[in-house]
Structure 1
């Protein structure tokens, strides 16, 4: 049956279920009485939806609260063990795989290092090696937690690169900085990882999954517009214009900040990432006469650089014993990032800019204060005065959390059903008539 808006009755039922599930998930436990105003649904619609969700095992009772002059109201919540998600972060130094329940409790974790051996950085991103790490990680976390694969909502994967989609291969990754040219990652994972056919892969840019996590569960909650910056070996960003909708990954790290500047790992000249990513920061310190640690991963090397700039016992202040070269490179990096932030402010005028990623969090508040000052000086006065710049609150593993949220978001969108069932709705008469008319002309 169709309604006047063009949506079917089935569509409306799905939307009602989505509304109830989202409010219980993000604001619960809640009573049936409270769900009405929060969702805009009638008390009858709320009761019907809740009864369905309880019968399906998605929702459970969670105690009661007193009401004004009446009997206590039963509280409801999402049942954490009713479904599970896997989040995968294909990062700079490792592949991380985590298994979560619906409450985002981590049930198992596996980390597979990406080798630093070889003459070129891209060697560590050998597609076969990465797919093998994901395959082994997914199998291992399920076995450790004793969870059957058919209990999964899906597997979310955060990747470094642009993600396109084709009917034949699903998600295809264009990772220029890691040597991936149109890698059909979804097809390769589907062929390699033994999962049921109804357990889907949700593959997207790592900055976008970070943005999803911070907007839903972290420092972005309550903001209607934000830019979430992923600062790791390189830099990227996710632009969000609706707190409940997925953001849009933008290749902010490949914005040109200096004409005929340093060679970026993407091959172009003068990209922000050639100055502001952790890999470039360490290289610039070396070029300036510093001595980054050799034969260690970038996280360890950046920790050593910060220790050189701010020796132990001096807190956040430079002083006697500080490495002047490291300090100078850090300050120049802060200015480049501030200039990059000013572009985000001028272009998108967000309420908040949030910095995440292992390097951004390691550099921390001290570094961010300098970035904020430079961003304000470069940006237009009005949007700069109305943006808050801060650190993400979910830690360096937020990409994995956001990746796990991708199948969760789709599950909500479908009203808590993994498969749409039921008869096909007939098209409106006018649609069939006009199609026939066009076909005979």
Structure 2
């Protein structure tokens, strides 16, 4: 049996938080007067949540609105008391929760900083230094000496984040507050959080799945107050994104075939492609209908299936290592069980953190495709690979019915292909663009 020898930073066991819901105000009073008659229903904001977070790990919490993310953070930070269960935190905690939480609106920004120093027991000889660091990081100018109640939402976040990150807590809890800041301040916060990861533990809630995967080693996916999945960020984030695509698919509405055919033909006529027939039909291929991705991590209705794929050079030789800038042909083979008037095939290239780097689909490039009978078909994407950052990349494949805004996912295959990029002139940037010219200004 494997035992994790690292120290547990946070241990949560069977955490439950309930609220009593009443149909009207009078029922609440009646229940106080006649307690033997129950007039409320219980709402489980959190239901039997358990997990351990170890030293050196950082936790991302994801889920749709109302899944219990903010409630969990409020219980972890001590703002809310759980109905049942236990929470053990080994270390000091600082929390940036809902906008303006922890700030006294009647005090100035400078006075709020001093008040926080006093609460945290900061030594007097360190107060002036910490105050200067907070003011410098917040960068709100003369408003630091104005009452906080006059601050904009962006100023609230700047001051609150600067106060929490500067006191160097053992555990830093952040709840989506950074979304209201401007892009420059968001990047500034991300840089500081990367630095902080070396000395503390981050618990981060966000709807930005790429940022969660980038900052956090572990991810907790909440659904309806329960733990849907807990594990390594890349896998959990991929499964969560898959569930969102499934939700979109269930909202798909069929479009009349006659209208689809008319729009289909006009879209391809505008493309001017000699490789596409006038009626946009694909040529059936003679391939084995049994797919190599049947045991892959995938989802969809499976009314159509992605069978095979390969990333090749222009001479048909498979790629495994690229330098960037090469001409690539991504061939995707798929089966459809019946006539399909409107469908699309696409791909997404992801880095090792699961961030979407590039991708496209047949609808964006040409419009709709049609097939007139059941069979196996193929699509080729011909493109020049960008000069990507050195590292490992995967290719995720998709087959869907409809268009990019209104579709039903037939087959989505996670990480179907893998390739590496090895650049000799790597400068640590995600993309390298060759300059047309570099000159001195006169």
Q: Which has the larger radius of gyration?
A: 2
Higher-helix-fraction structure: 1
Same fold flag (TM > 0.5): no
For the aligned pair, the TM-score class normalised by the smaller chain equals under 0.3
Taking structure 1 as the reference length, the TM-score comes to: 0.24
